[in-house]
Amino acid sequence: MPILEVKDIHKRFDRSEVLKGISFSLEKGDVLGIIGSSGGGKTTLLRCINFLERADKGTISVNGKVIFDADQHDLTVEQQRENQLNFGLVFQQFNLFPQYTVLENVELAPRLLKRYPDAEIRERSMSLLKRVGLDQKIDRYPCQLSGGQQQRVAIARALAMNPSILCFDEPTSALDPELTGEVLKVIRELAEAKMTMIVVTHEIAFARDLSDKIIFLDHGVIAEEGPAKQVIDNPQKERTKAFLNAIQK
Amino acid sequence: MVQEVMLRLCAGFVKTIELFLLTLAGAIPLGLIVAFGSMSKFKPLKIVVRFIVWIVRGTPLMLQLIVIYYGPGLLFHQNIWGMGTSGRFTAVMVAFIINYSCYFSEIYRGGIESISKGQYEAGQVLGLTRRQVFFKIVLLQVIKRIVPPMGNEIITLVKDTSLARVIAVYELIWAGQTFIKSDGIIWPLFMTGIFYLVFSGILTVLLAKFEKKLSYFN
């Protein structure tokens, strides 16, 4: 049984239909790369999965259990927040909480939601920060960190709530080129540790190496999908070829 | 003579401080409620609140004072403020708190709306409740942003307290002015100016300190 099953997601903003029926599934431990040109619906799809947008139609299931059904409106806020915690999201703009230190950023949600005993929260947070290579900077504030460091804290923060699936929304797009490497390295290590992930990215080479499966999203539909190397190295559809050509120029 | 003047001025100044502190104590929280009203998703509430804010900010505080104090009596033949000094003081407090909460509400609204959507979303995807997002994430960032404009309003309030004398509340300026009539001397009035300067000077220093305290993040 796939860990994530997305069925027929539609989303419309005013007059434009951004997602026109997206379906895919993801196996536990796999990495899904989502590529495509701007405005193709990549970010909207990720936001629908993370409950930041409400899809107009479709369902989302995790481990066989429907956690979102567009036709069902009677979900309590409580239930929705619980369902949401299946996912973690790393934003393009990091969105760290500026008034909290690195450690406080990571610990805030588990503490407020009393997920684990305090001592365990501290222990877990420290090990997550070690994992992203920032255990020496736990008392710094976000404004004292580089973009790459901030994004690595954001990854640790997302992992602190122990999500089943970690999502990345163009995690390196807001970074200076020399800082993307350190973030990609952390994501790669997570993939090696068999974290289930969905990565929306413009880094085609990275998506190719990292992903088990790639979806090429174009004008709100999945134009092509398949094993990563096949889609990137040997695309079948004209639109995919055109997109990859344009990006590599 | 000097001693008598200073005693009277101090009595007036105590009233001024009372007006100042009570107005802040009332308007700072009430302003937040007004701000939420003016940002409400429930349209009728939003329209009503913004209409009230427009009226309060668009007319002189002195006019509001007079209307609030004399209005109920003249229109409805009801003396709702009670007799004598304490009645007048209550009316002044009501007028000041309403007036300042409307000003504060606009500052709060500006502050709240300036926080990026990403902060709310980051809290939401971590499973925090809306209340937790507001109080644990957004509020301190808002406070940091509104300290300078709030400082302006607070300094203005120091001087606006003198309007209370319009309905015969014995505050600092009135205390100074009585000596013009009774003794033909003007220096007590200049003295009141010193009181205001020192008071607003102290506030300026305190506000700067507070601003500095919040400068560790941006």
- Which amino acid belongs to residue B46? K
At which residue do the structure tokens 């000077």 appear?
A: B201
The B residues from 133 to 172 touching A (CB cutoff 8 Å) are 136-137, 140-141, 144
**Residue A102 covered by a domain:** yes
**% of chain B surpassing 70 pLDDT:** 100
Residue B59 sits at the chain A interface (C-beta within 8 Å): no
The count of structural domains within chain B is 1
**Residue A212 covered by a domain:** no
Higher-pLDDT residue of A76 and B29 is B29
Residue B213 sits at the chain A interface (C-beta within 8 Å): no
- Judged by CB atoms closer than 8 Å, whether chains meet at A113 and B127 is answered as yes
- Judged by CB atoms closer than 8 Å, whether chains meet at B118 and A81 is answered as no
Distances (CA, A) of B85 to B80, B89, B168, B171: 14, 6, 8, 12
**Residue B63 covered by a domain:** yes
- A90-129 pLDDT, tens digit per residue, is 999 999 999 999 999 999 999 999 888 889 999 999 999 9
Q: Flag whether pLDDT at B178 surpasses 90.
A: no
Residue A174 sits at the chain B interface (C-beta within 8 Å): no
A-B C-beta contacts closer than 8 Å = 62
- A144-176 pLDDT, tens digit per residue, is 999 999 999 999 999 999 999 999 999 988 888
Across A199-213, average pLDDT? 90
Report chain B residues whose CB lies below 8 A from the CB of A142.
217
Q: What is the 3-state secondary structure (H, E, C) of B1-37?
A: CHHHHHHHHHHHHHHHHHHHHHHHHHHHHHHHHHHHH
pLDDT of residue B78: 76
User: Which of A45-49, A71-75, A175-179 has the weakest average pLDDT?
Assistant: A71-75
Report chain B residues whose CB lies below 8 A from the CB of A114.
none
**Residue A235 covered by a domain:** no
A49: nearest CA partner in chain B = B125
- Distance between B28 CA and the closest CA of chain A, angstroms: 22
Domain limits for position B82: 2-115+146-213
- B104-141 pLDDT, tens digit per residue, is 999 999 999 999 999 999 999 999 999 999 999 999 99
The count of structural domains within chain A is 1
**If we measure between CA atoms, which residue out of B118, B98, B211, B163 comes closest to residue A97?**
B118
**Residue A53 covered by a domain:** no
- List the structure tokens of A202: 């413009």
**pLDDT category of residue A179 using cuts at 50, 70 and 90:** confident
Report chain A residues whose CB lies below 8 A from the CB of B144.
99
pLDDT of residue A193: 92
- Judged by CB atoms closer than 8 Å, whether chains meet at A108 and B136 is answered as yes
Residue B215 sits at the chain A interface (C-beta within 8 Å): no
**Residue B132 covered by a domain:** no
- A5-45 pLDDT, tens digit per residue, is 999 999 998 888 899 989 999 999 999 999 988 878 899 99
**Residue A130 covered by a domain:** yes
- A217-241 pLDDT, tens digit per residue, is 988 889 899 898 888 888 888 888 8
Residue A199 bridge partners (DSSP)? A33, A168
Across B76-103, average pLDDT? 87
pLDDT of residue A249: 63
Q: Which of A82, A97, A141 sits opposite B216 (nearest CB)?
A: A141
**Residue B151 covered by a domain:** yes
- Distance between B123 CA and the closest CA of chain A, angstroms: 8
- Judged by CB atoms closer than 8 Å, whether chains meet at A109 and B126 is answered as yes
- Spell out the residues 6+ positions from residue A191 whose beta carbon is closer than 8 angstroms to its own: A31, A197, A210
- Judged by CB atoms closer than 8 Å, whether chains meet at A95 and B121 is answered as yes
CATH code for position B173: 1.10.3720.10
pLDDT of residue A101: 94
Domain limits for position A153: 98-162
**Residue A26 covered by a domain:** no
Residue B132 sits at the chain A interface (C-beta within 8 Å): yes
Three-state secondary structure call for residue B213: helix
**Residue A79 covered by a domain:** no
**Residue A132 covered by a domain:** yes
